[in-house]
Structure 1
Amino acid sequence: MPQPNPFDSVIDQLRPVRETGCGSITLLIQNAGSGDPDHQEQLWKAVLITLRETAARVLATFPNSSIENPDELISGVYEKLQVRMGNDEIADRHHFFATACTHFRWAMLDEFKKRRVDIMPDVPDVVELSEDHYAAEHEVLQLVMTELDSLDESLQCIVNGHLFLDMTFDELSREYGIPLSTAHDRFQSAIESLRQRVSQGE
């Protein structure tokens, strides 16, 4: 039985797990637009919590990671993200989303490098795919996180919103004032561009 392509596996792992996205993020965005500091704070917290959940979801896809305490790694990403976000001047909501996702990716890469998220080769009962496949997924995940910086901003915001902030394409089309079909097309263009860049970097 052929094994799935590591790039496709990584993108599938990053995809939102809820069909309706964050659900409340659209309302939070609308409320934050009023300028009320409390509403803006709620949106800020919701974005950070969503990114924390994304970190947990990504790590959970590697069942044989050599990390002894996955929660510790996730907390490390979250704490680093909070510090970095607190040090930035945010121009508007779109800048906030972009900055949060960029710092999230950097924090994830830092933690992966620091903690050596390797695959344990001696737990065959848990492994459904080969060790090489899981190792390849780790490498591809880090390449995807890195190469996102090279995408055009119009593509990057769609990938950030859908994969990291759990936003649906409908939410993204409303947030960025583009047709729903354009949001879909930009996401597909971004994924194909990432696929090419990752294949060149392997």
Structure 2
Amino acid sequence: MADVTQILSQIEQGDPSAAEELLPLVYEELRNLAAAKLAHEKPGQTLQATALVHEAYLRLTGRNTNECWENRRHFFAAASTAMQWILVEAARRKLRLKRGGDRKRVELEDIAIPLNKSPERLLSLDEALERLALQLPEAAEVVRLRYFVGLSIEEAADVLGVSRATAYRHWTFAKAWLQSELDK
């Protein structure tokens, strides 16, 4: 197996097959580097370590790069910098208004639909649930099974004969929809 420095030299000389030889040699180290970079990011990061490695690798070895690396250490320093740029670009994209940058993330599990508050609140929930049933009966049924019967989402999926993913999707939508209706 060739040395990383030799392969880097071949890439610099324009050998197209050299980039294919390089990845298997450096992949694990790049993946560890990416995981370390992502560990310092806020929770909820949508970028995975594997995707970060692939993007950085493409930037480093792509056709339009005129980079030349002196040795293995220089290559990994360049990879670290490329990963940093990718993370900064991702953060900038998230903050754009077009992407909802002015909105705050709310975990749907934190939103509670109160049942034991008051009779008025329970009646409001029932009315909202009826309106939801007119638009999306499956979602309303998931809510009924969860709140009034006490089933888990998985159990509700089994009862309704749908996949767990579908039941979760209905549950997530219904919780948000009902919360907005009850807040009116």
* Higher-RCO chain (CA-CA 8 Å, sequence separation at least 6): 1
Bin for the TM-score computed over the shorter chain: 0.3 to 0.5
- TM, length-normalised to structure 1: 0.32
